[in-house]
A and B are shown apart, each in its own frame.
Chain A
């Protein structure tokens, strides 16, 4: 089974609107971390936001928020007030446990295009 599933290959959003990028995960571990990364066309992977499995509140970082629904095993990324510079690939990732050497699992990514 896929550890991370992103079902939206491509998304479009109007500038200044909010958009939700879906991510579901599969793990039997109680301790895990969920991450979102942005990859512009230049290729670099930019860390956006982190949610720990024990965190009771949804993580927020500026215009990014993570809608964490543990029972549904979903960790959707919400981008508010979209900007043209938000156009990029977005990857959801998970690490089971917190040991730095544990493998990261990535989803297949969602390509977001912000329309002026």
Chain B
């Protein structure tokens, strides 16, 4: 079964609005979660590392004011795309390391397809 759950799977929003994507670890506590963006036929691009109880660490070139990350609990991290524009349309996917699994294996959420119209 799923280890990390992400919601929503699909979202369409209007330009200028904000959209929130949730990432939950289902049967473990995740002090760290990762948010990725993936363009068609490309690899995953790390956007930010979400740390429970502290500010997220953003990768170079990622606008922290546009992609707000909140890791309010040990099982939930949220990514909010603010003032969305069509160029923000993409596939967003989160991940978390499951403790005590082999190598603290990272498991991914199902991903969220965002379309901004």
Interface-facing stretch out of A20-28, A67-75, A78-86, A101-109:
A101-109
**In the complex, what distance in Å separates the CA atom of A8 from the CA atom of B93?**
24
Q: How far is the CB of A55 from chain B (nearest CB, A)?
A: 9
Min C-beta distance of B115 to chain A, whole Å: 13
Given contacts A43-B91, A45-B111, A101-B49, are A91 and B43 in contact (CB under 8 A)?
yes
Question: Which of A45, A98, A108 contacts B95 (CB under 8 A)?
Answer: A45
Q: Is B107 an interface residue (CB 8 A)?
A: yes
B78 within 8 A of A: no
Q: Is A44 close to B, CB under 8 A?
A: yes
Report chain B residues within 8 Å CB of A93: 106
A93 CB to closest chain B CB (Å) equals 8
**Number of inter-chain CB pairs below 8 Å:** 69
Complex CA distance for A103 and B51, rounded to whole angstroms: 13
Q: Chain B: how many interface residues by the 8 Å CB criterion?
A: 28
Q: Is the CB of A50 within 8 A of B103?
A: yes
Query: Which residue from B93, B99, B106 sits with its C-beta under 8 Å from A35?
Result: B106
List which B66-117 residues lie within 8 A (CB) of chain A. Answer: 91, 93, 95-97, 99, 102-111, 113
Known: A35-B105, A43-B113. 10 other contacts (CB 8 A): A45-B95, A45-B111, A95-B103, A95-B106, A100-B31, A100-B32, A104-B46, A107-B43, A108-B42, A109-B43
A residues with a Cβ closer than 8 A to B are 33, 35, 37, 42-47, 50, 52, 91, 93, 95, 98-101, 103-104, 106-109
Interface residues of B (CB under 8 A from A): 30-32, 34, 38, 42-44, 46, 49, 51, 91, 93, 95-97, 99, 102-111, 113
- A-B contact list, 21 entries, CB within 8 Å: A43-B91, A43-B93, A44-B108, A45-B111, A47-B105, A47-B108, A50-B103, A52-B102, A95-B103, A98-B103, A98-B104, A99-B104, A100-B96, A101-B31, A101-B32, A103-B34, A103-B49, A104-B95, A106-B43, A108-B43, A109-B42
